[in-house]
Amino acid sequence: MLHSIKPESHGPLGRPMADAVQACVHCGFCLAACPTYQEFGQEMDSPRGRIVLMKQVLEGGLPWAAAQPHVDRCLGCLACEPACPSGVAYRDLLSPFRAVAQERGEFPRPPAERLRRWLAAQTIPFPGRFRLALAGARLGKFFRPLVPKMLRPMLDLAPAAVPPAVKLPRVTPAQGERRARVALLAGCAQQVLDPDINVATITVLARNGIEVIVPDAQGCCGGLAWHTGDLRAAQAFARRNLAAFPADVDAILTNAAGCGSAMHEYHLILRGTADEGRADAFRKRVVDVSVFLARIGLREAPRGSGRAQKVAYHDACHLANAQGVREEPRKLLRAIPGLELCEVADAHLCCGSAGTYNLDQPATAASLGAQKARAVLATGAAVVASGNIGCLTQLRAHLEKTGSPVRVRHTMQVLRDGYGG
C-alpha cells in the first residue's frame, strides 16, 4: 500500500522518514527484538506500532500528542533494525520525527520536565559543566525530599565519586614504526565518568604503531541533542567537529558507541544544509576503535595476566545495532591469552542506558538495567566488557546494587591490561 506522506511538508528530514515508513510491510518480525514491547506488552510500544503512529501523524491523520508517549518511550536502541527482513531504516524515522516534532513545538512538556531536559542538555555535553553538575547532584542527595520529583533521577544517577580529570596529550606518537595516524573523539561524559578509557585507548593504539591526535577544538558528538529532538544543537555540535578534525588522518576514531553512531548520522543531522556533502564525507571516515584495530591487526599480541580470566562481553546497542560491530571487539578480547570470552543471554536487549533515557524514563531504564545485571551475573564472569560509557555506567550501577564484585571495563581497558600496563 502506498503511503500518502508528503515528504516536502516535513522539511529536509521528510524524505528519509517517508522512505522508512514506506519500507515497513507490518510483518511484526521486529516485535520480539524490542525491549519496550517486552516491557509494556502493547503494540504501540513496539517498532511496528510506532511506525504506524508516526506514519499517521506525518500523513496528518493523527495528532502529534497521540504518538508522543510511545515515541518518548522508544530507547532508540535500534534492535528492531537487524530483526527486520525488509531493511526498514528505523533510525531514519525516530530521531528525525523527534526533531520535526520539537521544531514545531508539537511535543509540549511540563515545566519540571523541560527543566530536567534543559539541565541535561546544558551540562552532559560539556565536561567542565558536567563535573560541576555531578558535584551539585551529590550535594543535592542530602536535600532529596525538597527536590522536585521530576529532577530526582538526576540525583539518583550521580555516581558517589568521579575520578580526577585527565588532560590527554594533543599528539601521542606511535611506538616503533608508524603504521597509521588517527584522530580520536574524546567523548564528553566519558571524559568525566571514566577518563581512563581514553588513556587505555591511546596506550593500545600507540603500542600498535598508531599515532593518535586528540584535536583541541573538538566537542560533543551531538548525539544527546539529536536523540532528544534538538536539531539546532545537534547541527552546531556536528559543524564544530567537521571543522575540528583534520583531513590528513587515516580515520576518525570513537571509543564510545553512542558517539560513533551519532557521528555516522551527520549526513542526516545536516541534511538540506550547505554542510550536507561535507558531513557525508566526514561520517564515512568515522570508525570505532575496535574495528580499526581489528582491521589493521594487533602488531604485538597481548601477554595476558598469566591467569585464567572469564570475561563477558556486552553488546552496546549503538555499536552492534547502529554500527553493525559485533565480531571485532570479541576478536580483540580473544587475543588475550588466558581470557575466556562468554556471551550474555538476551544480548539483543538494551541495558536501559540509552543516552538520557535513564533520566527521562527511569522506571523502564531501571527494569532493563536490573535484567542485564542478572544476565551478566549468570555468566559467572569476573569482568564484563563493553564499548560504550553509557552501558558501562548502567551496568556498574546495577551490578553494585546486587553487591556483585564483577568488574565493569571498556574493551580497550581489558586490552591495555592484557599488555600488562
Answer for which of 29, 138, 152, 304 binds ligand SF4 (CB under 6 A) is: 29
DSSP assignment of 340-358:
EEEEPTTTTS--S-TTTHH
CA distance 303 to 298: 12
196, three cell numbers: 581512563
Residue 69 binds ligand SF4 (CB under 6 A): no
Residue 77 interacts with ligand SF4 (CB under 6 A)? yes
> Residue 34 Cβ, how far from ligand SF4 at the closest point, in Å?
3
SS3 174: coil
Candidate residues 5, 57, 79, 93; the one interacting with ligand SF4 per rule CB under 6 A: 79
Site membership for ligand SF4, residue 262 (CB under 6 A): no
Tell me the closest approach of the beta carbon of residue 33 to ligand SF4, in angstroms. Answer: 6
Q: Taking CB under 6 A as the rule, does residue 24 contact ligand SF4?
A: yes
Residue closer to ligand SF4, measured from CB, 50 or 410: 50
Query: What 3-state class would DSSP assign to 278?
Result: helix
Cα angle vertex 391, ends 389, 394, to 5°? 110
- Applying CB under 6 A, does 257 fall inside the site for ligand SF4? no
76 touches ligand SF4 (CB under 6 A): yes
Half-sphere exposure of 332 (CA within 13 A, CB side): 34
Q: Where are the beta strands (DSSP E) in 77-187?
A: 171-172, 180-184
Q: Which residue stretch of 79-87, 102-110, 127-135, 229-237 sits at the interface with ligand SF4 (rule: CB under 6 A)?
A: 79-87
Q: Round to the nearest angstrom and report the end-to-end CA distance of the chain.
A: 59
- The residue from 53, 78, 99, 270 that contacts ligand SF4 (CB under 6 A) is 78
Q: Is 369 in the site for ligand SF4 (CB under 6 A)?
A: no
Question: Which residue intervals of 221-326 are DSSP H helices?
Answer: 223-227, 231-244, 257-263, 266-269, 276-283, 289-296, 317-323
Give whichever of 44 and 249 is closer to ligand SF4, judged by the CB atom.
Answer: 44
Give least dist CB 35 to ligand SF4, A.
Answer: 5
Supply the minimum distance, in Å, between the C-beta of residue 368 and ligand SF4.
10
* 26 makes contact with ligand SF4 (CB under 6 A): yes
CB 240 within 8 A of CB 217: yes
Question: What is the C-alpha to C-alpha distance for residues 173 and 212, in angstroms, rounded to an integer?
Answer: 7
Of 14, 21, 44, 48, the residue at the interface with ligand SF4 (CB under 6 A) is 48
Please report, for residues 7, 8, 18, 71, 306, the alpha-carbon distance to residue 3 in angstroms, rounded to integers and kept in the order given. 11, 14, 8, 20, 61
Give the residue, chosen from 47, 187, 215, 355, that forms a contact with ligand SF4 under the rule CB under 6 A.
47
**Contacting ligand SF4 (CB under 6 A), which of 36, 235, 323, 353?**
36
| 75 belongs to the binding site for ligand SF4 (CB under 6 A) | yes
Beta bridge partners of 184: 253
Site residues (CB under 6 A) for ligand SF4?
24-30, 33-36, 47-48, 50-51, 74-80, 84, 86, 88, 90
